[in-house]
């Protein structure tokens, strides 16, 4: 299996105490992959590092960060697009579907809290 648009997309994989399924998932992916380990004590980090793959970045966390681990993974991404997976699910590039085609045409992402954006402060005002 291959990562969709290899080279433009990084797959962020989160895992927690799932060494074998994480290794299977990473083994099915090519291109940039970031694996965020949520404090596993089953040898997941060591096994991933032993793979010796230059396209896999392993980010070990001290404890389980839950879904916040995805944000940690995004900080290690160096491509314009990010896809998410976990220790038992992966991308199948042979079936990118309409969403994958749409991503290839999508403009560069913008930060949600970009400078100059106004935020309403205080209580909401209702007319009526």
Predicted confidence band of residue 18 (pLDDT cuts 50, 70, 90):
very high
Domain assignment of residue 111, yes or no: no
Contacts of 22 (CB under 8 A, 6+ apart): 13, 15, 35, 37, 44, 47, 48, 87
Domain assignment of residue 47, yes or no: yes
> Mind listing the pLDDT tens digit for each residue in 19-51?
999 999 999 898 899 999 999 999 999 999 999
Domain assignment of residue 103, yes or no: no
Mean pLDDT of 45-67: 94
Domain assignment of residue 107, yes or no: no
Report residue 101 CA to chain centroid gap. 19
- Identify the pLDDT of residue 8: 85
Q: DSSP states of 11-79 as a string?
A: EEEEESS-HHHHHHHHHT--S-EEEEEES--SSHHHHHHHT--TTEEEEEESS--TTHHHHHHHHT--S
* Domain hosting residue 57, numbered range: 9-91
Number of domains observed in the structure of the chain: 1
> Mind listing the pLDDT tens digit for each residue in 70-124?
999 999 999 999 999 887 776 665 555 544 555 555 555 444 444 444 444 445 4
Q: Is this model's pTM higher than 0.75 or not?
A: no
Domain assignment of residue 97, yes or no: no
Domain assignment of residue 124, yes or no: no
Contacts of 108 (CB under 8 A, 6+ apart): 80
- Identify the pLDDT of residue 104: 53
- Identify the pLDDT of residue 31: 84
Domain assignment of residue 13, yes or no: yes
Domain assignment of residue 116, yes or no: no
- If residue 105 lies in a helix (H) or strand (E), which one and from where to where? helix 97-105
Task: Identify which of 7, 6, 76 has the alpha carbon closest to the alpha carbon of residue 36.
Answer: 76
At residue 126, does pLDDT exceed 50? no
Q: Which CATH number do you get for residue 85?
A: 3.90.550.10
d(CA 105, CA 89): 25
């Amino acid at each position: 299996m291959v990562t969709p648009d290899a080279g433009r997309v990084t797959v962020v994989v989160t895992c927690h105490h799932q060494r074998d399924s994480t290794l299977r998932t990473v083994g099915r992916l090519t291109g940039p992959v970031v694996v965020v380990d949520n404090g596993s004590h089953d040898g997941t980090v060591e096994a991933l590092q032993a793979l010796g793959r230059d396209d896999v970045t392993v980010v070990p966390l001290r404890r389980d960060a839950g879904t916040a681990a995805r944000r940690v993974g995004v900080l290690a991404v160096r491509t314009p697009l990010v896809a998410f997976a976990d220790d038992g699910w992966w991308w199948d590039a042979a079936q990118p579907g309409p969403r994958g085609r749409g991503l290839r045409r999508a403009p560069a992402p913008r930060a949600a809290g970009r400078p100059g954006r106004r935020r309403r402060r205080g209580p909401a005002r209702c007319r009526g």
